[in-house]
Chains A and B, each alone.
Chain A
Amino acid sequence: METKYISKSGIEQWFKSIVDSGKRVYAPVNSRDQIEFKRVKNLSEVADEYVQTTQSIKASVYPKAEVLFSYEKEHGKVHLTDFNPDSIPETVLWKVHPCDAAGFKPLSAIFNWDSPDKLHNAHVQKTSVISFSCAMADESCFCTSVNGSPGNLAGSDIQLTMLPDGGAIAEIVTPKGEALVALSPTVFEADKGEDKTKYLVDLPARFSLEEVNAKLNKAFNSTVWKEQSERCIGCGACAFVCPTCACFDIQEDVHGSTGRRIRCWDACGFGLFTLHTSGHNPREHQSQRWRQRLLHKFSYMPARLNVVGCTGCGRCSRACPVDMNILEHITSIAEQ
């Protein structure tokens, strides 16, 4: 990894060179009173002064709805057309938070468990991540409790840490990052030796993952799930804003004799998620579904995929209509 300095005007020039290279650039934009990742052409469109985007960047590597393959039926025969990875354009994600970039690892771990996921991998391959370390946090943030930090480099190709002069420390993490630097190499100057940590928000850890994991391993039959989830209304808001939630549905989009098989986002919180055709539902109650959500992230994923299914971004807590606050709930389990 290489550390460089990039000035304010250097950032502007570099951003332009990325856009001019023909890659799609997505960045947080303030519109409709929400900060959302949108396609941008100019640096001036990019939002500043906010803690978190409403949605994560998950959709860039795991679209809300994506065609797995399409087919055509003719006289009892079927012709299949496979997903084409070349159809995915080169994409640069600008101003990603470290907690979002860190979400790529658990996502990819789920999608590639044993059998590789051609679609997800094609997106990942075509996506470069330029993260910005965090100078701000709010009461929902807890990345430092889940192996992350405001300056965590995991999942980033380049990370910028903004400096008071409008320039930034640029940490070039991966070959993909180097390729982005190569679009405008002259603006990357020698490292000025600035201490990055001075510019990061101070966010003390709120719980120990190991402790939580140990507690959860014994908590399946605990009454805590019912107590915590009584107010949960069973929507999918938490799952859909989450950078690591990957549960999906497979659906059929039919138009006469042609059709497409579609993978779309689903959520373990939905009552019908596990319903059998027979009417039997293994997770009949909301408390069981809430338990599944927490255990999957903090117990099952660490056990099976060796990765925690939470990056501490706090989006689920912010999005929840009834204040199901994940930090509050996990901390209370840790303290039990």
Chain B
Amino acid sequence: MEKLRERAAAILADGTVSLVIGYEEGTKRPRPLFCHDGESARKLIFDSRCFHNLAVYLTKKELVGNGRFAVTATISTLRSIMQLYVENQLSEDKLLILTVDLSGTLREFVTFDEISAYVEQFELKRSEREQAILTRIEGMTREERWNFWQEEMSHCFKCYACRSACPLCYCTKCVVEVNRPQWINPWPAPVANMEWHINRAMHMVGRCTACGACGDACPVGIPIDLITRKMMEDMAPEFGYIPGLPVKKGNALSTWKLDDREQFIR
């Protein structure tokens, strides 16, 4: 961790980057930190408690500006960065990635390929929480599943913390805010909530890397991350993708090949 702080301070001092986005101790858990100088870099921490997906900040121009910047990345953050590269939302010459591997060694990446080679070593596994809830849901009948999600979504008050926390929700105007036509009723109500969450899920299929940030962010405890996660798990093998490992050939649902399997068309 000391190495990380030193490196962050050094690249800020020598002008390699103008900003390092990392983690600091928060009031209860670690939280995102924006370092503009060596002084603030001393507050940096990086350990297993750091759960925020900092990739969410990388597409915000008002934060990162036009210069080069660095981010301390967890595996989840790296997966999102890869996906953002695939979607041309980040460029390799603007971003320097710092991380600490399992042996405690400071690692630096720039290119998609470097990140990919590193992330490949980590299988995207369900956490205990994810396993527990998903097993329960997978054991439900279709009707029970619908009822389960209807009940969960009824608690949604449309604060859009899920959208705000998601690195891949970078649209400047979200579909829920489009009013000509008004695709989705924007107020919180049972049907309108379902409309929002189904739309969100559909926009995520083939893109979500299952970081869980949306679920973590939900103030009313809806396990919404599991919808996109489950969809990713179901989708990936069908299209020859490895869950959580974006590839340069593009997103499953926005690319088309002659030999795509079409067994779903009945």
Q: Measuring CB to CB, which residues of chain A are less than 8 angstroms from any residue of chain B? A: 32-34, 36, 54-55, 64-65, 139, 230-231, 233-237, 239-241, 249, 251-253, 262, 264-265, 267, 270, 272, 284-286, 317, 319, 321-323, 325, 328
Contacts and interface: CB of A to CB of B under 8 A. Distances in A.
A65 B29 contact: no
Contacts of A325: 26-27
A36 B155 CA distance: 10
Given A64-B157, A235-B164, A236-B160, A139 B187 contact: no
Interface stretch (B79-87, B213-221, B245-253): B213-221
B227 interface: no
A315 to B, nearest CB: 9
B7 interface: no
B27 A328 contact: yes
30 contacts: A34-B220, A36-B220, A55-B157, A64-B187, A64-B189, A139-B27, A230-B34, A231-B32, A231-B33, A233-B165, A233-B217, A235-B163, A235-B164, A236-B158, A236-B160, A236-B161, A239-B159, A240-B219, A249-B186, A251-B187, A264-B186, A265-B157, A265-B188, A272-B173, A284-B62, A317-B27, A321-B161, A321-B213, A323-B29, A323-B31
Contact of A253 (B26, B63, B160, B185): B185
Interface in B27-52: 27-29, 31-34, 52
Contacts of A240: 157, 159, 219
Contact of B220 (A54, A139, A285): A54
B185 A321 contact: no
Interface in B120-139: none
A319 B155 CA distance: 14
A321 B220 contact: no
Given A235-B159, A319-B219, A286 B27 contact: no
Contacts of A253: 185, 187
B55 to A, nearest CB: 12
B56 interface: yes
A322 B157 contact: no
Contacts of B27: 139, 317, 323, 325, 328
B4 to A, nearest CB: 18
A54 B32 CA distance: 23
Interface in B236-252: none
Contacts of A231: 31-34, 57
Interface string B133-153: 000000000000000000010
B69 to A, nearest CB: 12
Interface in B154-191: 155, 157-161, 163-165, 173, 177, 182, 185-189
Contacts of B173: 272
Contacts of A270: 160
Given A55-B220, A249-B187, 11 more contacts: A32-B152, A34-B155, A54-B221, A64-B187, A139-B28, A233-B164, A235-B159, A235-B160, A249-B186, A270-B160, A272-B173
B221 A34 contact: yes
Contacts of B187: 64-65, 249, 251, 253, 262, 264-265
Interface string B58-80: 00001100000000000000000
Contacts of A236: 158-161
Nearest to B54: A231
Given A235-B159, A264-B188, A321 B164 contact: yes
Given A251-B187, A272-B173, A322-B52, A235 B217 contact: yes
A55 B155 CA distance: 11
Contacts of A65: 187-189
B177 to A, nearest CB: 6
A272 B188 contact: no
Contacts of B57: 231
B32 A237 contact: no
Contacts of A328: 27
Contacts of A272: 173, 177
Contacts of A64: 157, 187-189
A65 B158 CA distance: 11
A208 B57 CA distance: 34
Given A235-B164, A239-B159, A251-B186, A321 B177 contact: no
A234 B31 CA distance: 15
Contacts of A321: 52, 161, 164-165, 213, 216-217, 219
Contacts of A36: 155, 220
A230 B63 contact: yes
A303 to B, nearest CB: 28
Contact of A237 (B26, B161, B182, B213): B161
Contacts of A237: 159, 161, 217, 219
- Nearest 10 A/B pairs, CB to CB: A264-B187, A321-B217, A235-B164, A236-B159, A319-B219, A235-B161, A65-B187, A323-B31, A323-B26, A233-B164
A32 B33 contact: no
Contacts of A241: 219
A284 B63 CA distance: 12
A264 B155 CA distance: 15
Contact of A234 (B33, B164, B185, B186): B164
A317 B220 CA distance: 14
